[in-house]
């Protein structure tokens, strides 16, 4: 009974940790649309507010590892919960732009520490044959959290100061996680009474050999300095190569940005009105949840390597297909958000200034309503560039789908003009119909990309990272790799539009395809299979020269 209770509480901690992370990443999309009106945010201020969470997360990944290794995983999660409660209160009560930035940085710091500590803690708490399932549950939490944030964005979109409710509701899952972890034991790797806990059935061990190994663990544990990550001792340098390779390829295969243009792809296949655009975004979120559940189910059966390689192959094919189809049927790009500060721009939800239909290019493959997005001056598109950055993180971890709320507000006016547009642009409708097949191929490719990421790189990167390092340096090593993850994420998000200007949308996606092929080769050559092995066995496997 006690073993089952520990298992259920570990699963709860993992799921809630992911849910909070996903929620905080997704909620800014809807909140920003209200904040830019309430606080008169300029283009730069929007970008600062969105980036504040990333900067807080990057700071946490630089110092969080020391906290996790020195003070234990459980205590790190408890501290991160308290910091998150403080951050959520600051955001809920904020009266100034500075308060919002401080609140978002505090929240970013907390979710970053929590994400690292949760994965490590759960991987050490459970038996080898359950580790893949329970650590992957964290990723399921992220995707559910993002979906939940969209639902609440939609719910509070028309409520006065609705953003306060959006930020404040994060307190509920944080408090639940805090209470759940109070009933769990101190991290067993640090526990001198490890064997007695095993005998009580607290931690399920396979056989007497595992028990004997566990009994010796406190005495065998080695001490490492941070610089050992780059030395040949116990093959640590190769472990660091595997960790960094996984987090960097996770970002450089295009995950942060493919979804930034999800709404444009939805429009190109005919999701014209407000409600169907929201439905499409939620549908994409649902696909992510299902794919992550598939990964969770197969992580301990098929293995990490197989899921990583299969996911990368599908991602490479999908982005290459998007690159080729967009060459034949280009997508319109919303370049900036200057309109947010335009005093003449209407901030009414139903009266957004629109580009006259007659000025649309007659050969545009995109329906008139979407083409208007390029020069559209309403707040819905004002946030487009900043939101690309907000979504880049899923997770940092996750690719987050484009905000349904951007569509909800930004497209209301366009939907009304659509009927007028169809009468005045018959000359543009023929090429659009011609490209309809290509647009559907693009949409299906994007869905395949989302599914493949959620099966492979999404959950498996963090599962492998929580397994390959020795206990004495696991927290610092995980944090070191995580800092590169956040930094790469920030770099890709900030440079995406400039790169598109330089080499073109199509070439950018073909480049992502090439990176996907390189990722497959890297995983095949360097990443070992860790399914069904205890953390000690994985450590021994790495300690051997090959």
Q: Kindly state whether residue 211 falls inside one of the protein's structural domains.
A: no
In terms of domains, do 158 and 67 share one? yes
Beta pairing partners, 394: 397
Question: Which has the closest alpha carbon to 17: 99, 73, 59, 86?
Answer: 73
Residue 358 falls inside a structural domain: no
Report the CATH number that the domain containing residue 498 is assigned in CATH. Answer: 1.20.1250.20
Residue 213 placed within a domain: no
| Whole-number pLDDT of residue 18 | 94
The tally of domains found in the chain comes to: 2
Q: Name the pLDDT band for 91 (thresholds 50, 70, 90).
A: very high
Q: Are 251 and 176 members of one domain?
A: no
CB 530 within 8 A of CB 538: yes
- Checking if the pLDDT of 128 tops 70, the result is yes
391, 25 contact by CB (below 8 A):
yes
Q: Residues 163, 264: one domain?
A: no
| 137 & 254 share domain | no
Predicted confidence band of residue 221 (pLDDT cuts 50, 70, 90): low
Residue 459, CA atoms < 13 Å, CB-side half-sphere: 37
175 and 295 within one domain: no
Q: Is residue 534 part of a domain?
A: yes
- Residues 472 and 326 grouped into a single domain: yes
Residues 141 and 267 in one domain: no
Q: Are 11 and 156 in the same domain?
A: yes
- Residues 153 and 52 grouped into a single domain: yes
Reply yes or no on whether the pLDDT at 398 is more than 70.
Answer: no
Q: Which helix (H) or strand (E) holds 167?
A: helix 162-168
Residues 149 and 7 in one domain: yes
| End residue of a domain, out of 160, 186, 212 | 186
Same-domain status, 133 and 14: yes
Q: What is the pLDDT of residue 392?
A: 39
Q: With respect to residue 128, please indicate whether it lies within any of the assigned structural domains.
A: yes
Q: Are residues 447 and 317 in the same domain?
A: yes
Task: Give 542 or 214, the one with higher predicted confidence.
Answer: 542
Residue 278 included in any domain: yes
| Tokens found for residue 359 | 């000025």
By three-state DSSP, how is residue 397 classified?
A: strand
List, in sequence order, every residue forming a beta bridge with 397; answer none if it has no partner.
394
Structural domain boundaries enclosing 22: 1-186
> Is 381's pLDDT higher than 80?
no
């Amino acid at each position: 009974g006690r073993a089952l209770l520990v298992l259920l509480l570990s699963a709860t901690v993992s799921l809630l940790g992911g849910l909070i992370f996903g929620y905080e990443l997704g909620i800014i999309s809807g909140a920003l649309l209200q904040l830019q009106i309430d606080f008169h945010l300029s283009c730069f201020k929007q970008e600062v507010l969105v980036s504040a969470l990333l900067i807080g997360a990057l700071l946490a990944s630089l110092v969080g590892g020391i906290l996790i290794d020195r003070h234990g995983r459980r205590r790190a999660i408890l501290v991160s919960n308290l910091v998150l409660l403080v951050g959520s209160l600051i955001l809920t009560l904020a009266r100034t732009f500075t308060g919002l930035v401080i609140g978002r940085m505090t929240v970013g710091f907390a979710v970053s520490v929590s994400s690292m500590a949760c994965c490590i803690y759960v991987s050490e708490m459970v038996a080898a044959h359950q580790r893949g399932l329970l650590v992957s549950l964290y990723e399921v939490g992220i995707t559910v959290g993002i979906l939940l944030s969209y639902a609440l964005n939609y719910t509070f979109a028309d409520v006065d100061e609705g953003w306060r409710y959006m930020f404040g509701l994060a307190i509920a899952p944080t408090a639940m996680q805090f209470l759940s972890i109070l009933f769990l034991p101190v991290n067993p790797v640090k526990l001198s009474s490890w064997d007695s806990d095993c005998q009580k059935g607290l931690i399920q061990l396979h056989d007497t050999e595992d028990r004997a190994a566990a009994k010796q663990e406190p005495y065998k544990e080695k001490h490492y300095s941070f610089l050992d990550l780059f030395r040949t001792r116990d093959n640590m340098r190769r472990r660091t190569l595997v960790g960094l390779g996984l987090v960097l390829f996770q970002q450089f295969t295009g995950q942060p940005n493919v979804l930034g243009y999800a709404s444009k792809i939805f429009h190109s296949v005919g999701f014209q009105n407000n409600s169907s655009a929201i439905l499409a975004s939620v549908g994409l979120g649902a696909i992510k949840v299902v794919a992550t559940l598939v990964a969770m189910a197969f992580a301990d059966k098929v293995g990490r390597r197989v899921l990583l390689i299969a996911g990368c192959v599908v991602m490479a094919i999908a982005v290459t297909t998007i690159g080729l189809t967009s060459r034949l049927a280009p997508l319109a790009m919303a370049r900036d958000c200057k309109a947010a500060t335009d005093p003449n721009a209407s901030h009414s939800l139903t009266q957004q200034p629109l580009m006259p239909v007659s000025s649309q290019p007659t050969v545009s493959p995109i329906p008139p309503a979407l083409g208007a997005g390029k020069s559209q001056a309403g707040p819905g598109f004002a946030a487009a560039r900043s939101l690309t950055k907000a979504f880049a993180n899923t997770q940092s971890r996750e690719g987050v789908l484009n905000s349904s709320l951007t569509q909800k507000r930004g497209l209301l006016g366009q939907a009304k003009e659509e009927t007028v547009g169809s009468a005045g642009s018959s000359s543009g409708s023929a090429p659009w119909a011609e490209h309809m097949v290509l647009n559907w191929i693009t949409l299906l490719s994007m869905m395949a990309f989302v599914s493949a990421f959620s099966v492979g790189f999404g959950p498996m990167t963090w599962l492998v990272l929580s397994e390959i390092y020795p206990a004495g340096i696991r927290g610092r090593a995980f944090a070191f790799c995580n800092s590169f993850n956040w930094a790469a994420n920030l770099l890709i998000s900030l440079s995406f539009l400039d790169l598109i200007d330089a080499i073109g949308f199509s070439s950018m996606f073909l480049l992502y395809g090439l990176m996907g092929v390189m990722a497959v080769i890297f995983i095949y050559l360097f990443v070992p299979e860790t399914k069904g092995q205890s953390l000690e066995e994985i450590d021994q496997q790495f300690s051997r020269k090959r």
